[in-house]
């Protein structure tokens, strides 16, 4: 089952949803600000994305700037920050099996369909 980690208030995330809807495929919506991913789930997402934990961080968010910017964080500390402050998670993320992609730009989503 295809999953999208979605924030309805984000334009790019809404555009990603539209791509999935137009694909005709079934998918599950995870509103990650309400259903916060666990550290284990985040670790698996990062592995599927093939990126470092820090690459999943929205560095322009005030929370990041206030609490973490300029600090030398380990991967596990970054994952802990993402689990504690899910607003820091880059979006949307689409997962299809063992493949995943950050939908920025939203057209990237088509690579995992």
Q: CA 14, CA 109: separation in Å to the nearest integer?
A: 12
Walk across the sheet containing 27-31 and list its strands.
27-31, 2-6, 93-96, 99-102
Active site residue 10: yes
Q: CA 16, CA 59: separation in Å to the nearest integer?
A: 21
Q: Helices then strands (H, E): number in the chain?
A: 4, 4
CA distances from 59 to 62, 65, 78, 93 (A): 8, 7, 12, 16
* DSSP character at residue 99: E
Q: Per the residue annotation, which of 2, 3, 10, 112 is the catalytic one? A: 10
State the catalytic residues. Answer: 10
């Amino acid at each position: 089952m295809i999953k999208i980690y979605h924030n309805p208030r984000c334009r790019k995330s809404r555009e990603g949803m539209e791509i999935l809807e137009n694909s005709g495929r079934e998918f599950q919506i995870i509103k990650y600000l309400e259903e916060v991913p666990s550290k284990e789930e985040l670790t698996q997402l990062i592995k599927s994305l093939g990126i470092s934990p820090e690459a999943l961080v929205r560095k322009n968010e005030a929370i990041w700037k206030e609490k973490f910017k300029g600090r030398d964080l380990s991967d596990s500390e970054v994952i802990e920050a993402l689990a504690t402050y899910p607003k820091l998670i880059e979006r949307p993320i689409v997962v299809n099996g063992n493949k995943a992609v950050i939908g920025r730009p939203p057209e990237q989503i088509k690579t995992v369909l």
